[in-house]
Structure 1
C-alpha cells in the first residue's frame, strides 16, 4: 500500500512502494530539481551559473514527487489565458515535466499529471496546454493535439510581387506598448492563442524573438501589422508576422521582398489554414504542416459555461456523455443546454430506464471539437463522436468554426 500526500491530504493507492509526497518545491530543493532538469533536458551549468541561479531561485508553481525526501519527478504549472471564440479563458500551462530514467514507468509522472488537474480545477483554470515530447503519452491523460503550424521556406524568386500600398513600413526598436494592441486584435480571431501580459511581452517575446522589428503604419498613423525577425547567414527567420488586413499583409511582404539581394530564403510559420501559396505567382514553395501544441479541457462544465456558442434562435438540449477517468468531475452523463443566445451549460443528469444519450465522447475528442481543431460531423464520421448524426449536426450548427493557432511556447 502506497500513501501519497498532496498538500497535506493523504490518499492510499494499491501499489508497491513507500511514502510519496507531492508538494510545491522550495529553495532547499534547488540542487535536486536542477540536477533533474539538467539531466532530463540535456544541458549543463557552470558553478558560477549554478550559484547565480540558486540565489535567484523562486520556485513558483514547481511541483515535485518525493520519496524518502528525494525528488523523483517534477512539473511546473504556469497560469496563462487563452483566446477561445474571442474570449479569454484561464489556462494552466504544463511545462518542465521530468523524471530520472531509473524512475520511469513507476507512475510518478501519471500521479503528477493527475495532481495538476486537481490543482488547475481549484485555481479555475478551465483548460490546459503543453508542448509534448510524445503525443501518445499525453493523450493517455486527456490532452489532445489542438493546433498545427504551416511552415514555409520561400526563395527570393518566389516572393510575392511588390505592391504599392497606402501607408508605410518602418523598422523600429521592439516596443510592446506599440505591438500589443495589434497582436490582441489579430490573436483574438483564433482559438488557442495566448493573452499576453506585459511580463510575457518583455521576457518571452521582445527578449527572445525580436532581433529586429518592423511595423506597417496605415495612412492615419495607426499600426496595422508588424514583423519580429532576424537575419543570419543570408536567411531571414520571421518569428511573428501579424497583420490586421490585406493591405498590411501586402505592405509587410513588400518590405520583405526588398531584402531579396541579401537573402537566400525566408523561413516563417503561419496558421494551418494560411493561403500564401495561392497568392503567389508560383505557388510551388516549400511548405510543411507541423503538429504543435496539445490542449485539455480541465473543467468541462465551467468551460462550456464560458464558451461563446452560436445561438440558433431557439434552445438546444442534448443528453451528452463525457469519458474522463483522470478528472472524475467531468465523467458522466450531462444535460448539455445551449440557449437561443448561445449561452451554454452542463448539468449532471441520470438516464431513465431504456434511455440512451444523444451523443458522447472522451475528453480528448471534446477538447478537439470545442477548441476548433476538428468539426463535430467529421468526428462523428471518424467514430470519435458517438451517437446520432442528428446530434452531430446540432453541434455542428452551434460550435463556431474558428481556426486554431499558437504563436508562443513555454
Structure 2
C-alpha cells in the first residue's frame, strides 16, 4: 500500500469510494511487462449506483497508461461487474489433494533436500529459482524483495524444502505448512524434472506423519499427472480467479511476439472505458492505427476478449464460435498458429 496509487471520490470532503493500483510487473513472452494491480475497490453502501466506481476505474486505467503499465490484473468479487470495465477472466487456480498412502514417489538419490525458511541466507536461492521459473511461464508475477517480505508476513514461506542437485546448484523448492493431519503445499517450483521428482519424494516421505497433502501452485494438472506414480489418487478442483485487461493496445501490440507476417493482420478494438484504445490496428512489419481494414481480414473484439485471446487463455476459434470475436475462419486459423498455446499462470494474490 505504501507504493500504490489510490484515487478517491469525495462528497462534502468525505471519502465515498476508492480504487487502488499496485505498481507491479509480470513476465509475458519472456519479457518484463509493467502491470497495474487493481485492489481495494470499495464504495460506501449509501453511495452505490452513483457511477463513482466507473469514474474511478476510468481514471485509474488512464493513469496506468500514463505510468507505463500496459496491462492490468484484478481479482473480482463479481466477474460481471468488472467486465463492464474491459476485464476478462484469464487465470485459474488449481488445488490438488492426495492421500499419501496412495501416493509414493521414490527419490532418485541425486542431490539433496535442505530445509530452510525466509530468515535463512539460502532463501535467496529460492527467490532465484522462482525468478527463473517466472521467466519461462506467461503471466507470472515478477516478485521484488518487498513482495517476498509480504509473503513472509503472511506465513507462506516459513518452511521451505530447497532442492540442490549433484553439483550443489539450487533447482527447485516447495513452501509448505502443516495443519492437523494434512500437509499444505503453498507452492512447488522445479526447474528440472529431477528437481520436481525429488520434491515429490520429500512430500511422500511424510506418509507416516500425515494422511493427506493439499497442493496449489504446482503447474498444470496434465503435466503433474504424467509425473505421478499413481495419478488416479489425485483429486482436483479448479477455480477461475484473476481477470486481465490490456491497458494500452498499441504499446502491447508493439511488444507482442508476432512472427514475420506474409499478410497484415487487422484488429478492430472496442473499449468503452479507455476510448484511446478504440480503432483499427494494422499489424505488419510494425504497428499502426489505420482508418479502415479489408473486411475479410479484420478481427473485431472488445478489449476483454482481445486480452484473453492474446494472453493465450482463450483460443481464437473458441472465441469465434462463442461470438466473442468477429473473425473469418481463415484469419482464426492464422491466429491459432501465432498466439502462444501455454495457458497463463499466476501464483500470487492481492
In the alignment, which residue of structure 2 is the partner of 1:306?
255
- Consecutive unaligned residues in structure 1, runs of 5 or more: 1-56, 340-344
Partners of 2:168 and 2:29 in 1: CA distance: 29
In the alignment, which residue of structure 2 is the partner of 1:296?
245
Change (3 A) 1:331 1:253: same
The answer to whether the 8 Å contact 2:19/2:41 transfers is yes
The answer to whether the 8 Å contact 2:101/2:211 transfers is no
In the alignment, which residue of structure 2 is the partner of 1:115?
59
Partners of 2:262 and 2:20 in 1: CA distance: 41
TM alignment of 1:230-379, pairs within 5 A: 230-269=177-216, 270-278=218-226, 279-309=228-258, 311-312=259-260, 314-337=261-284, 339=285, 345-351=286-292, 358-379=298-319
SS of equivalent residue, structure 1 residue 188: helix
Deviates more, 1:117-126 or 1:387-396: 387-396
The answer to whether the 8 Å contact 1:321/1:359 transfers is yes
Q: Per-residue deviation at 1:158?
A: 2.6
Q: Per-residue deviation at 1:210?
A: 1.4
Picking from 52, 62, 73, the partner of 2:6 is: 62
The answer to whether the 8 Å contact 1:148/1:271 transfers is no
Task: Compute the RMSD of aligned alpha carbons.
Answer: 1.9
In the alignment, which residue of structure 1 is the partner of 2:31?
87
Partners of 2:254 and 2:221 in 1: CA distance: 28
The answer to whether the 8 Å contact 2:152/2:158 transfers is no
Partners of 1:395 and 1:126 in 2: CA distance: 22
**1:36-80 alpha-carbon deviations (Å, 9 max, x no partner):** xxxxxxxxxxxxxxxxxxxxx958412211111011101111111
In the alignment, which residue of structure 2 is the partner of 1:104?
48
Partners of 1:392 and 1:249 in 2: CA distance: 37
**1:153-178 alpha-carbon deviations (Å, 9 max, x no partner):** 11112324323241111111334421
The answer to whether the 8 Å contact 2:296/2:328 transfers is no
SS of equivalent residue, structure 1 residue 96: strand
The runs of 4+ residues in structure 1 deviating greater than 4 Å are 57-60, 354-357
Change (3 A) 1:201 1:113: same
The answer to whether the 8 Å contact 1:369/1:376 transfers is yes
Matched, 1:391 2:331: yes
Partners of 2:310 and 2:148 in 1: CA distance: 28
Picking from 62, 77, 81, the partner of 1:137 is: 81
Partners of 2:102 and 2:224 in 1: CA distance: 11
Of structures 1 and 2, the larger Rg is shown by: 1
Partners of 1:249 and 1:160 in 2: CA distance: 14
- Consecutive unaligned residues in structure 2, runs of 5 or more: none
Picking from 94, 113, 120, the partner of 1:169 is: 113
Question: TM-score normalized by structure 2?
Answer: 0.93
Structure possessing the higher relative contact order (Cα contacts under 8 Å, 6 or more residues apart) = 2
Partners of 2:34 and 2:262 in 1: CA distance: 27
Partners of 2:289 and 2:32 in 1: CA distance: 25
**1:84-134 alpha-carbon deviations (Å, 9 max, x no partner):** 111110100101111111211111111111111111010010000011101
The answer to whether the 8 Å contact 2:137/2:345 transfers is yes
In the alignment, which residue of structure 2 is the partner of 1:217?
164
Q: Per-residue deviation at 1:381?
A: 2.2
Change (3 A) 1:283 1:192: same
How many residues of Structure 1 are paired with residues of Structure 2 in the alignment? 345
